[in-house]
Amino acid sequence: MIARATICIAFLLPGSALAAPWEGDWVVDPALCASPADDHRRIRLTSTRKGRPTDESVCDIIETEDVGLNVTRLKLDCESHGDSYEDNLFLMLDQDHLWIWYAAGEWKRASMGEYYRCPE
């Protein structure tokens, strides 16, 4: 009975939720993970934000939706150099390999990027 109560409390505490599998730092070339000088080339995904460690362009994740096997849609509210916009990303994860499809609005700017997870 105590074990069940502990498990229930763990799920109710803020910050105790498990991280989404796509959270972390992602790069187009795994060699970039080792160089702090290349931080501007990383994409950092957290449960609430998408951005680069050294960039003033950031997006708040305002909605996530699992839309298929290992596919998640992120609805973003972004600000870049004083301009605000909404964006959508589709993430497909295969272990430590991530494909990101960028789709602004009604697919006005659709593109795809392939990324590798940096070790923590």
| Per-residue pLDDT at 17 | 62
Over its length of 120 residues, how does the chain's per-residue pLDDT go in tens digits? 444 433 333 333 444 467 899 999 999 999 999 887 777 788 899 999 998 877 777 899 999 999 988 899 999 999 888 889 888 889 999 877 999 987 655 545 567 789 999 998
How many CB atoms are located within 10 Å of the residue 26 CB?
24
User: How far is residue 88 from each of residues 4, 25, 32, 63, 91, measured CA to CA in Å?
Assistant: 38, 19, 26, 10, 10
DSSP assignment of 36-55, as one string?
GGGGGG-EEE-SSEEE-TT-
Q: Is 5 part of a structural domain of the chain?
A: no
Residues 47/61, Cβ–Cβ less than 8 Å: yes
Residues 23, 65: Cα–Cα separation, whole Å: 15
| Per-residue pLDDT at 106 | 52
Q: Is 4 part of a structural domain of the chain?
A: no
| Per-residue pLDDT at 4 | 47
| Per-residue pLDDT at 108 | 53
**How many domains is the chain partitioned into structurally?**
1
Q: Domain containing 97: what range?
A: 19-117
92 DSSP assignment = E
Q: Is 11 part of a structural domain of the chain?
A: no
Q: Is 8 part of a structural domain of the chain?
A: no
Q: Is 71 part of a structural domain of the chain?
A: yes
Q: Is 6 part of a structural domain of the chain?
A: no
| Per-residue pLDDT at 69 | 87
Residue at 64: amino acid letter: T
